[in-house]
Amino acid sequence: MRSEGTATSFSPLGWIAPFWRQVRSRLLLRTEDDVLILPPNRVYKLNSTAKALLLFLEAGGRLAEFPGLDEKKARDTDAFFRSLEAALSGRRPDADRVAYDFTFTRLPVLAELAVTYRCNNRCRFCYAGCSAGTACRRPGSAVPGATPEPGTGTDGPATLPGRSEVEDLPARDLERIIRIFREEAKVPFFSFTGGEPLLREDLPRLVRFAERLGLRTNLVTNGTLATPSRARALFRAGLRTAQVSLEAPEPGIHDYLCGVPGAWERSLAGIRALRRAGISVQTNTTATRANLDALEGMPALAASLGVDRMSMNLFIPTSRSPEAAALFVSYREIGPVVDRVRKRAREAGVDFLWYSPTPMCLYNPLARGLGNKNCAACDGLLSVNPRGDVLPCSSWDEGLGNLLTDGFSKVWFGERATSLKNKEYAPAECRSCPAFAACQAACPLYWSYAGYGEIQAAGPAFRERSARPAPSMEAKPAEPGSTDGPARGGDDERPFP
């Protein structure tokens, strides 16, 4: 065993123990699958040395006494903690430019709980298609809640009741689900979603319950009901972050997409109220045909509101209605738009996140430092609807089982969830692609709607390019033996301070 003095002659490690004590409450060390999770969804895979080192620090050990701390392990240890420090401070680590697969986690990384499908907006692109006082129907669908059957071009039968028929669970049952998140799924973080969760008067109670279990919470909202008094009540309950949907930098387009006149002004008022209450706000924008030309103005709007983090995702149709077709934007089209918005965000001093699963042959988010973007359905994400059904993701209608009646393990490790984890929906063109580990065929709901024509057209040229040496702009993967694993991304990331 080398002394700390010998090891630190190469890489000073004295800063690590106090740093770990300072940040420990913001992290989850999960020994079930040997990962360190930085909420909402950044994950470090731990090798045996890293796991032993963190458990050693957890027990109050001194690095000078850690067994076998030679120069190589000291260098790797320093690199691991500096990467962690960069992630905690909001700087993008090199892992966002390195491909990885999702096989190293056994349990979900984050969860979302839709506490209601009721909503006071009538968003044209919403997967739920609900409003507070009307039935929840897909526009143009013959059956409430119907989803397209893959490859048929027709609406298939609803496998769950229409979303307006899904009654809200009482708070005590939602608390049971939250306890399952903590004790069985072992996620450190989850989001309250909907519908519009602020339509539930008992939301502060649910936030408080989660916080007492040690879970960090986030609110996904349209912001229109976030009055100053409600924002203060949520802050007192323990809420610290919120994601507010904002669809355009001016009211005309936003109100058109949200289906309610005056929605834009009320959303902005909600953002201001949340921020004044002490809640950190991130905006999210869904890219559609209706707002595509206006998206470059979103970073400036975010900055003017004092918001330093914004995200964007692609509209994924879940019906074959004329309205869905009118709003649809293809993978091939969205890449240049993302690049322009990202450039404007840098100029405005706003951190930009791209959420949607994206096929590498059509748009490469890794080369742009945006991280891996593939489908987290039943993989990194545990999504639960208002009656406790586990969905592959919030855009799917088809449930995999009920968390309250079937239990977490039966659903999460079941045959249907495993099929999604293994990306069995991926076409042959994707499975033979050298970039499959990075995008894993992107979003299955997208392909169900649009077909595989884009991949079939782009694939051969992409595979030819991929066979060439990587460009110098790509960061190198961690050296063998490093304690640092890849940072994990997903299509449903959430803000953290």
Helix (H) or strand (E) holding 381: strand 381-384
Q: Domain boundary residue among 361, 396, 416?
A: 416
- 301 with 407, same domain? yes
- 278 with 384, same domain? yes
Provide the pLDDT for residue 113: 98
Alpha helices in 181-321 (DSSP H): 203-212, 228-237, 251-258, 263-276, 298-304
- 350 with 255, same domain? yes
* Structural tokens at position 148: 């397209």
- 356 with 412, same domain? yes
Tell me how far apart the alpha carbons of residues 318 and 323 are, in angstroms, rounded to a whole number. Answer: 11
Provide the pLDDT for residue 92: 56
Asked if residue 225 lies in contact with residue 74, where contact means CB atoms within 8 angstroms, the answer is no
- 29 with 175, same domain? no
Within a domain: residue 465?
Answer: no
- 117 with 84, same domain? no
**CATH number of 369's domain:** 3.20.20.70
What is each CA distance from 85 to 16, 20, 22, 81, 316, in whole angstroms? 10, 10, 11, 6, 35
- 119 with 82, same domain? no
Provide the pLDDT for residue 259: 97
Provide the pLDDT for residue 112: 98
- 86 with 114, same domain? no
Provide the pLDDT for residue 162: 56
pLDDT (tens place) for every residue of the chain, 497 residues total: 344 444 444 457 889 989 998 998 889 999 999 999 988 778 888 888 889 989 999 998 888 788 888 888 888 888 888 888 887 876 655 555 554 555 678 999 999 999 999 999 999 999 775 443 333 333 333 222 333 333 333 333 333 445 656 789 999 999 999 999 999 999 999 999 999 999 999 999 999 999 999 999 999 999 999 999 999 999 999 999 999 999 999 999 999 999 999 999 999 999 999 999 999 999 999 999 999 999 999 999 999 999 999 999 999 998 888 999 999 999 999 999 999 999 999 999 999 999 999 999 999 998 898 887 889 899 889 999 999 999 999 999 889 999 999 999 999 999 999 999 999 989 888 988 988 888 999 999 999 999 999 988 886 666 666 555 443 333 333 332 333 333 333 333 333 22
Within a domain: residue 458?
Answer: no
pTM (two decimals)? 0.82
Asked if residue 84 lies in contact with residue 37, where contact means CB atoms within 8 angstroms, the answer is no
* Structural tokens at position 492: 């449903």
Q: Domain boundary residue among 416, 447, 470?
A: 416
- 52 with 121, same domain? no
Within a domain: residue 214?
Answer: yes
Q: Domain boundary residue among 91, 118, 145?
A: 91
- Residue 283, classified by CB atoms within 10 Å of its CB into exposed (0-12), middle (13-18) or buried (19+), is buried
Within a domain: residue 97?
Answer: no
Buried b (16+ CB within 10 A) or exposed e, 439-450: bbbbbbbbbbbb
Tell me how far apart the alpha carbons of residues 394 and 147 are, in angstroms, rounded to a whole number. Answer: 13
Range of the domain at 174: 110-416
Within a domain: residue 96?
Answer: no
Within a domain: residue 249?
Answer: yes
Other CB atoms within a 10 A radius of the CB of residue 104 amount to 16
- 33 with 79, same domain? yes
- Residue 389, classified by CB atoms within 10 Å of its CB into exposed (0-12), middle (13-18) or buried (19+), is buried
Provide the pLDDT for residue 401: 97
Within a domain: residue 376?
Answer: yes
Within a domain: residue 324?
Answer: yes
Peptide bond into 434 cis (omega under 30): no
- 139 with 221, same domain? yes
Total domains present in the chain: 2
Amino acid at 49: T
- 252 with 297, same domain? yes
